[in-house]
Chain A
Amino acid sequence: MHISGSVWVFGENVNTDLIFPKMWFRPTYESGEMASHLMSGIDSEFARRVRRGDIIVGGLNFGCGSSREEAAAAMKEAGIAAVVAPSFGRLFTRNCINVGLPVVTSEKIDQQVVEGDVLEIDLGQGTIKVVRSGYVGRVPPMAPESLKLIQDGGIANYTRRVLEQRRADNRMERQ
């Protein structure tokens, strides 16, 4: 899986309260609504300035705290190509995988990039490259199950397939 895009840089211990502040919680969301509040706890202009295909780079423990899936879902909806950090909060990692957003770990990557840099990520090779400096970092291999969930577009698609399979099996049994 190849990803390339231009970078936005955030700090360490950025919690999900900041990525998607609770004041925007709703029981259901209109299309584009979650994306319009992305990172608004840190930068109220971010959602307007970010472009589809951009990459978010964070510091250590990015996405820590609350389980709010909106943090990952808003990134996916905004068209973020990948979120990259030296380490991530557990629930945020899980939510990224489930919404089909590549969540890429690379040691000290936050110290190698400045805003606007272009990153090239090759998940198959396990490499991440900063085009401006030529820096190449390592991406530890992701569990194949997780990578497959991301490539298949997340857990919603997976669940749909399991349900279809079960329905097909039921039809077979009845025949």
Chain B
Amino acid sequence: MHAISKIIARHADRDSVEVGEIVNVVPDYVMLNDRGAARAADLMAKMGADKVHNPSQVIVVFDHHYPPIRQQDSVAQKKTREWIKEQGIEKFHAGEGIGHVIFPENGYSFPGALIFGTDSHTVTNSALGCVATGMGHSDIASYLAIGYNWLRVPEVIRFDLHGQFKPGVYAKDIALRIAQLYGEDAAPYLGVEFAGPLVSELPMSERFVLCNMVIDFGAKTGYIQPDDVTRRFMAERAPTRAWTAETTDSDSDYSRIIELDVSEIEPLVAVPHNLSNIKRAADLSNIRVDEAIFGTCTGGRIDDFRVAAAIMRGKKLAPHTRMMINPGSRETYTKALQEGLINIFIEAGATIGVPGCGPCTGCHQGMLAPAENAITNASRNFKGRFGSPEAFAYVASSATVAASAIAGHIVSPSEFLKQ
């Protein structure tokens, strides 16, 4: 069995499961964001349940619309706060950052865990060697009512990554290369494991980027086999948490194994409006940047801030370019302040927003006008994702976004890193 199957089996109280089988599972933790909590509470009541089955396993995070900018969100959040109290839910994080960033920071996700959330990017957590997947509001409402969900045991494909990055290339570029080679449906309903010598060298922040992006290849969950990097992360984050990593029995537990040499990858950009429309950053110098959108559950970690600050130090945004920066978490924000990174961004002319999703999905400040171009280190370049449906979004690495904000048009970051 693959480790993913073993994790599912354990949470289904079974010794083993077959690929393709549908089983009922009890997750370790379930994340409800502000939108998810409001909808799931409403749907749970409509399903005839008045009590949350297991409130200690439920974690509510206000990240999409916090602080609220529309009265309807203020009203919904007030109701959710009352509901949380009524239901005895104690793990509640408002304004502390994006659920998928603060889950690992707080030790809510861990190797061998099963994590559900009311958001497609819940897969991000799977970089720790757990199974983590997004669910619909009715799914989560049903979980709240009865304490389990149905789950199909997925086939798993593995990307073996080897070679060395060229300067200016990051995990994000690997993800974009996979989208280019294999399409947005590269891994429908599948588990996607990243392995190989390159992965063992990647810090957790880069591993989170890889696993964050698997949803946009169609995957159910990512997976990275826990190693020393994972163990160090867990020891720092959740020293008292007991966890057991699962291991995969053999190569025959994969439906496909794909070799990918990262040495050939250059800084890439997904151009509007699909993630598989990939071009080289160096070939897009004709694309004017009106706004750089920096942060999100893909690129809002301290390592992203360090990379961007190294490029932007002592420089100014291009006169026609604005930049919206939202830290992925309060912790990212604090560290960036302590390290002087926020000063670098402010002096460059960027606007710093609150920890949270920011303009991604058009939730918060910094939305685009028609015909404007944005470059972002978020995960999606979908039409209308950052405001106007008539705007254009380009998705790239944190380094490419920072460099392009300074240049005022899309550039490869490699030149900036040489300076």
Contacts and interface: CB of A to CB of B under 8 A. Distances in A.
A61 to B, nearest CB: 4
A39 interface: no
Interface in A60-101: 60-61, 64-67, 69, 72-73, 87-91, 93-95, 98-99
Contact of A67 (B134, B142, B383): B134
A46 to B, nearest CB: 15
Interface in B10-43: 20, 22, 35, 38-39, 42-43
Given A22-B362, A90-B218, A143 B152 contact: yes
Interface stretch (B46-54, B252-260, B293-301): B46-54
B135 interface: yes
A13 interface: yes
A160 interface: yes
Interface stretch (B184-192, B319-327, B339-347): B184-192
A159 to B, nearest CB: 4
A3 interface: no
Question: In this complex, which of A89, A99, A158, A159 has the most chain B Cβ atoms within 10 angstroms of its Cβ?
Answer: A159
A3 to B, nearest CB: 22
Given A41-B389, A90-B220, A94-B136, A27 B383 contact: no
A91 B188 contact: no
B46 A156 contact: yes
A89 B217 CA distance: 9
Summarize A's interface: helix, strand, loop or mixed: helix
A99 B137 CA distance: 10
A137 B115 CA distance: 38
Contact residues on B (Cβ < 8 Å of other chain), bracket: 35 or more
Contact of B120 (A26, A87, A91, A160): A91
A15 B382 contact: yes
B315 interface: no
A155 interface: yes
B49 A69 contact: no
Interface in A137-164: 143, 145-146, 149, 154-156, 158-160, 162-164
Contacts of A143: 20, 22, 152
A41 B46 CA distance: 29
Contacts of B134: 67, 91
B361 A159 contact: no
B391 interface: no
A90 B219 contact: yes
Contact of A27 (B22, B35, B135, B189): B35
A156 B47 contact: yes
B138 A64 contact: no
Contact of A65 (B42, B142, B380): B380
A98 B138 contact: yes
Contacts of B48: 159-160, 163-164
Interface of A: 13, 15, 17-18, 21-23, 25-28, 41, 60-61, 64-67, 69, 72-73, 87-91, 93-95, 98-99, 143, 145-146, 149, 154-156, 158-160, 162-164, 166
26 contacts: A17-B380, A22-B384, A25-B35, A26-B72, A61-B184, A64-B184, A64-B185, A64-B218, A65-B215, A65-B380, A66-B361, A72-B136, A87-B188, A91-B134, A91-B135, A95-B136, A98-B136, A98-B138, A143-B152, A155-B139, A155-B142, A156-B47, A156-B142, A159-B48, A159-B146, A166-B146
Interface of B: 20, 22, 35, 38-39, 42-43, 46-49, 72-73, 75-76, 79, 118-120, 134-139, 141-142, 145-146, 150, 152, 183-185, 188-189, 215-216, 218-220, 274, 276, 361-363, 380, 382-385, 389
The 5 A-B residue pairs with the shortest CB-CB distance in the complex, in nearest-first order: A27-B76, A69-B136, A27-B38, A61-B185, A95-B136
